[in-house]
């Protein structure tokens, strides 16, 4: 963490609180994400990870401040935040099942006007995900879970994201598939996209990310370099029962 403090964060969240109705779920969340890094947000079921993502992407109202690239997001609507490059790969993928893979990817570029750049990105993304090239004319809903997750990530990439938030990528997928997806995520990060990875699988997230925040009952309880946290006895005890 030290050594990065002199850089300006891409995303700076301060004292964020949010909830559903009268129930508070998130309490005073403060975190920073720097350009081109991969940050993991880990924690067990019900820790508030997805709620935090929903607040960041403006689907859920919140108090506190969210600043991305110098813009204050807290008063924005979801599509305005999306316009700044805050793109989500939602939990459960949320693909357009009865549309083809190609149409799903094109829906990713829905808000972009520059057709030439969109066509270039489409080619690039197909070369990144050869599996999707084979299946470009197939209905998205008819693919396997791993392929659907790839498709969801590719669709998010088509939106030309600045910050890509990936929610529960590993959910319900075989370990070997998850491994492939992590490699792809690393490639996306090398390409200059900042990644915020939200995961229940603590070991997976910590092995791939640069830094991590650990959440518990709506608060951030640990933070630091992922390779340090992975050996932290407190984290190990809390999540792996060691």
One of 30, 96, 102, 201 touching other proteins (CB under 8 A): 96
* Contact status, residue 29 vs residue 13, Cβ threshold 8 Å: yes
Please, which of residues 146-165 interact with other proteins by CB under 8 A? 155, 159
Taking the least distance from each CB to other proteins, the nearer of 99 and 230 is 99
Q: Give min distance, CB of 102 to other proteins, in A.
A: 13
One of 36, 50, 59, 146 touching other proteins (CB under 8 A): 59
The gap from C-alpha 126 to its chain's centroid, in whole angstroms, comes to 20
- Please report the beta strands in the chain, taking only residues with DSSP state E, as ranges in sequence order: 11-20, 23-33, 38-42, 62-68, 71-72, 86-89, 163-167, 194-199, 211-216, 219-225
Q: Give min distance, CB of 142 to other proteins, in A.
A: 14
Q: Give min distance, CB of 160 to other proteins, in A.
A: 11
Check residue 95 for interaction with other proteins (CB under 8 A).
Answer: yes
| 145 Ramachandran zone, left/alpha/beta (phi>0; psi -120 to 50) | alpha
Check residue 98 for interaction with other proteins (CB under 8 A).
Answer: yes
Q: What is the DSSP letter of 102?
A: H
One of 99, 171, 221, 230 touching other proteins (CB under 8 A): 99
Q: Give min distance, CB of 79 to other proteins, in A.
A: 5
Taking the least distance from each CB to other proteins, the nearer of 53 and 182 is 53
Check residue 197 for interaction with other proteins (CB under 8 A).
Answer: no
Check residue 110 for interaction with other proteins (CB under 8 A).
Answer: yes
The rounded distance, in Å, linking the Cα atoms of 132 and 153 is 11
**Which residues are within 8 A (CB) of 12 and not within 5 positions of it... i.e. 6 or more apart?**
32, 65, 66, 67, 68
One of 4, 111, 120, 190 touching other proteins (CB under 8 A): 111
One of 14, 28, 72, 97 touching other proteins (CB under 8 A): 97
Q: Give min distance, CB of 25 to other proteins, in A.
A: 19
Check residue 77 for interaction with other proteins (CB under 8 A).
Answer: yes
Taking the least distance from each CB to other proteins, the nearer of 78 and 146 is 78
> Which of 9, 12, 7 is CA-nearest to residue 29?
12
> Which of 81, 141, 36, 132 is CA-nearest to residue 122?
132
| 42 Ramachandran zone, left/alpha/beta (phi>0; psi -120 to 50) | beta
List residues binding other proteins (CB under 8 A): 57, 59, 77-79, 82-83, 87-88, 90, 94-99, 107-108, 110-111, 155, 159
């Amino acid at each position: 963490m030290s050594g990065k403090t002199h850089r300006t964060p891409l995303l700076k969240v301060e004292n964020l609180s949010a909830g559903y109705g009268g129930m508070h779920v998130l309490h005073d969340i403060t975190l920073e994400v720097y350009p081109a890094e991969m940050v993991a947000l880990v924690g067990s079921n019900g820790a508030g990870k997805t709620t935090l993502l929903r607040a960041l992407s403006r689907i859920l109202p919140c108090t506190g401040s969210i600043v991305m690239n110098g813009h204050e997001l807290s008063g924005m609507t979801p599509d305005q935040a999306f316009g700044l490059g805050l793109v989500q790969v939602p939990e459960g993928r949320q693909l357009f099942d009865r549309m083809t893979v190609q149409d799903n990817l094109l829906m990713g570029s829905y808000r972009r006007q520059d057709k030439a750049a969109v066509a270039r990105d489409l080619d690039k993304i197909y070369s990144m995900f050869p599996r999707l090239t084979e299946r470009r004319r197939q209905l998205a809903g008819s693919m396997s879970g791993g392929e659907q997750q790839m498709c969801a990530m590719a669709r998010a990439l088509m939106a030309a994201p600045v910050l890509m938030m990936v929610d529960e990528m590993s959910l319900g997928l075989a370990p070997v598939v998850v491994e492939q997806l992590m490699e792809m995520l690393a490639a996306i990060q090398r390409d200059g996209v900042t990644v915020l990875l939200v995961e229940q699988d603590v070991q997976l997230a910590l092995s791939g990310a640069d830094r991590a925040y650990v959440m518990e009952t709506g608060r951030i309880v640990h933070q630091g370099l992922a390779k340090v946290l992975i050996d932290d006895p407190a984290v190990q005890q809390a999540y792996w029962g060691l």
